[in-house]
Amino acid sequence: MKLPKELVEKFREPYISELGDYINSELELIVKVKSKRLMENKAGQKYLLLTFEDKTGTLRAIDWFNAESNNSNVDIGNVVRTNGKVVVYDGRLQFNLLQNSQMIVLKEGEYSLERFVKETKQSIDSIMDGINTLIESVKNKYLKELLNLFFKGDEKFLEKFKNAPAGAKVHHNYVGGLAEHSLTVAKLCENVCSVYKNLDRDLLITGALLHDIGKINDYEITSSGIEVTTQGELIGHIVSGYEMISFKLKKINAPLELSNKLLHLIVSHHGELEWGSPVVPKTPEALVLHMIENMDSKLNRIFSIKERELDLNPEKNWSEYDPNLGRRFYLKHELED
């Protein structure tokens, strides 16, 4: 018998982001072990310091009772079921494991992958509506036919595109991230075209919607989260995207010059050779696509950093150093008097 949705919600283990409603309560969690460290206090008592995580955030945890056994039985990356008490320590939430609580390592199938894989906060249907609206606005018959082959004539592609992340760690690293990123880049490109009238709008919009489609082959959702596939490691999204688009361009007998211009957008969108781009942008449209795609990926990462760090400590002024962007970020967003 299948439980009603409201009962499933009532009896499921809470997410980390919900624990503020459970302060001083004892409860059971299903979490992933992000880090662990066996420590010893001045009295010689050993304890296990842990960081738990799920798709909603991270949580400091401590085990005073079964530190050595839990440390031996659990590895970083394991998904575990455990019992503890939610407390506030040093201004933030902490999970104190109970005396009789061993961390039980769960196997794939014993928990929902959705607990650990984030999804776009936007409606995927709304995102696809936005993409289809842009496709309808394209006037070049070859480019419009090409886009329709992908987004209206290829159900297998469309399903993968809607569920794919745009990255494993750096940016838009969640289900629906690829579609969200593609639409944002295309809308920004459209805005640029309204200012620079001599840009080829149809070419730029098409390139924006298709520039990362090779990523449908780059990532897969597993029990560990988002993983890079063998094809992603060996081939990469620029090459596979080029092949996918080139095949369909030939199918519709697109003019050679138009095909070359569009394919140049795909292979040059990383902008620099040292950033993995086979060639640097050599048309105005290619340069615009690179700059906007780069901006959207970086802004998405910055906003994720701010959200994560302020969730942990709302009073924090500066983020931790981010090695990908090579700096810390100021977290306050309100101007002080």
pLDDT per position as a tens digit, 118-140: 889 899 999 999 999 999 999 99
Q: In whole angstroms, how far apart are CA 202 and each of 20, 171, 261, 266, 304?
A: 49, 26, 12, 15, 31
Same structural domain for residues 135 and 109?
no
Whether residue 29 is contained in a domain is answered as yes
Confidence bin at 150 (pLDDT 50/70/90): very high
Distance in angstroms (rounded) separating the CA atoms of residues 208 and 206? 5
Whether residue 5 is contained in a domain is answered as no
Query: And the tokens for 4?
Result: 């009603």
Domain span holding position 80: 12-115
Same structural domain for residues 155 and 267?
yes
pLDDT per position as a tens digit, 57-66: 889 999 999 9
Neighbours of 330 (CB within 10 A): 9
pLDDT per position as a tens digit, 31-89: 999 999 999 999 999 999 999 999 888 899 999 999 999 999 999 989 999 999 999 99
Indicate whether 96 pLDDT > 60: yes
Same structural domain for residues 176 and 272?
yes
Same structural domain for residues 192 and 50?
no
- Three-state SS for 146-209 is HHHHHHCCCHHHHHHHHHCCCCCCCCCCCECHHHHHHHHHHHHHHHHHHHCCCCCHHHHHHHHH
Q: Which residues have CB under 8 Å from 219's CB, separation 6+? A: 164, 165, 167, 168, 226, 227, 228, 229, 232
Query: And the tokens for 331?
Result: 């977290």
CATH code, domain carrying 16:
2.40.50.140
Which of 115, 136, 153 lies at the terminal end of a domain, its last residue? 115
Whether residue 128 is contained in a domain is answered as yes
Model pTM? 0.76
Domain tally, the chain: 2
Which of 115, 138, 161 lies at the terminal end of a domain, its last residue? 115
CATH code, domain carrying 130:
1.10.3210
Same structural domain for residues 94 and 237?
no
Distance in angstroms (rounded) separating the CA atoms of residues 148 and 142? 10
Would you state the torsion angle of the CA atoms of residues 7, 11, 12, 17, taken in this order, to the nearest 10 degrees?
100
Same structural domain for residues 153 and 278?
yes
Same structural domain for residues 24 and 155?
no
Same structural domain for residues 147 and 225?
yes
Same structural domain for residues 56 and 175?
no
Same structural domain for residues 50 and 87?
yes
Whether residue 6 is contained in a domain is answered as no
Whether residue 307 is contained in a domain is answered as no
Whether residue 306 is contained in a domain is answered as no
